[in-house]
Amino acid sequence: MRKLPLVLSAALLCGTAADALASKPASDRGDEVILHAWSWSLDTIANNMKTIADAGYNYVQTSPVQACYVGEDGGMALFSKPGDSVKGKWYYYYQPTDWTIGNYMLGTRDDFKAMCDSAFKYGVKVLVDVLPNHTAVDHSKVLPGLDNAVGGHKNLFHAAGHTPIRDYNDRRECTTGEMGGLPDVNTENPDFQYYYLQYVNDLINLGARGFRYDTAKHIGLPSDPVDAKAERNNFWDIATGREAVKGLSLLMPDSLYIYGEVLQDRNVKEKEYSEYIDVTASNYGHALRHALEKGAGSPQELIDWNNPAGADKIVTWVESHDTYCNQHESAGLTDQQIRAAWVFLTSRQGGRPLFFSRPEGSTRENYWGTNRIGNRGNAEFYHPEVVAANKFRHAMAGLTESIAFSQNGAVGEVARGNAGVALVNFSSDKQKATLPCPLPDGEYTDAVHGTSFKVAKGNLSGTLAPLATYILYAK
């Protein structure tokens, strides 16, 4: 007996998430797409803004732009080892020395303004990676202006801010202790909140329209233990505009998109964080990468977003800069594999997809490529399959999804209402597939490759090339 393909719809997801998604207008459901222009300089982003817009991205996310630790004599390599001819580390811009705009790695305050002006011209919104949680490992490099603003250097840090976190399941340690050698800032100090908010408002005045909060899960929630130096955990109320501090409030809070790095690894309160900001669906990214490694997906893995925050409060990705750079968890996946998973992810209803721009010239043998901070990433962010998925997402805004897999799991199908279908071959082998399909009967030509598919009596059939993707629109 011929086995039927596996099929599930959004209605079979976690009920609350699906219901919430269905009840909200398209503009609230995250049908937008983010490009993470990782380690691109501000002028590089500005010079590529038209391409970014034409590729269907609504947001471009910068790397951190605040003053930062100057390491290895200001070397501009993405990564170097002792003895290398080049020097530098990408993560130095994640080590703040002050919260003012401009650093040696990415550009000046004027460069930031010019980038935002370019973004406005092309209808792209700027997201800035911000990180109030910690300072540079060498906190002696903190600039005097910051120390003075917070009432002296010792007031910049939590009571346990120089004590390493040993138990990440302990929320007090997680939110007040030193992570990876990075001293933990007293984010509940009103003087720090005021100083930090001035920085954020300056970014907004220059054109920023959203923020990505690095290490967000290390900044306490109201329900978390309160540091000995604080009265209550109110940072997120300040950062999202619910409260003012010393008479200063977040500018235009209702016009900003804000999400945080709330990785789903240990003792994480995704739901409570999502009451303030959107959160990262890191477990779903892991599931996608697992499907790529197997060459097959399944409803059990790839339908449920696996995040209690719900489909309308998550940022989704195939990979992030952390999965690429830290132990190179995802760097071994080919660009073709990443594209395949991106099309599946981005075609779906819910979430807000983020495309990580890999380094220029990167290969599986050379993860760092040309190894230069400031350069544009490789050409994958505007590959025709990636662009087609971005535009399919926009075209399908507000339409419910149904998802089907071939019996062997190699082929996945995302249908949006009866208006369009995205097909993905997760396998490195050619696949013939027959799948249930809501499109009207007829012959269909894929929008990217010109490949033909047939729909008859509610079933779609055709042949898919290895790791290829296809976009079909109803006639």
C-alpha of 109 from chain center:
24
Other C-beta atoms lying within 10 Å of the C-beta of residue 423: 28
Strand 420-425 versus strand 469-473 pairing type: antiparallel
Tokens coding 254:
């209702």
- CA dihedral 425→431→435→438, nearest 10 degrees, is 60
Angle between helices 384-395 and 335-347 (to 10 degrees): 10
Q: What distance in Å separates the CA atoms of residue 221 and residue 217, rounded to the nearest whole number?
A: 9
CA gyration radius, the chain: 23
Q: Which of 98, 173, 214, 319 is catalytic?
A: 214
With contact defined as beta carbons under 8 Å apart, do 396 and 474 qualify? no
Which amino acid, residue 112? F
261 is catalytic: yes
CA quadruple 320, 323, 326, 330: dihedral positive or negative? negative
C-alpha of 150 from chain center:
31
Question: Residue 292 gets which letter from DSSP?
Answer: H
Q: What distance in Å separates the CA atoms of residue 217 and residue 324, rounded to the nearest whole number?
A: 20
With contact defined as beta carbons under 8 Å apart, do 163 and 231 qualify? no
Q: Which of 98, 188, 261, 301 is catalytic?
A: 261
Q: How far apart are the first and last CA of the chain?
A: 34
Close Cβ partners of 180 (under 8 Å, ≥ 6 residues apart):
none
Which amino acid, residue 1? M
Q: What distance in Å separates the CA atoms of residue 69 and residue 98, rounded to the nearest whole number?
A: 9
214 is catalytic: yes
Query: Given phi > 0 = left and psi -120 to 50 = alpha, else beta, which region is 303?
Result: alpha
Q: Which residue has the tokens 């003792």?
A: 267
Q: Give the residue numbers annotated as catalytic, written as ranges.
A: 214, 261
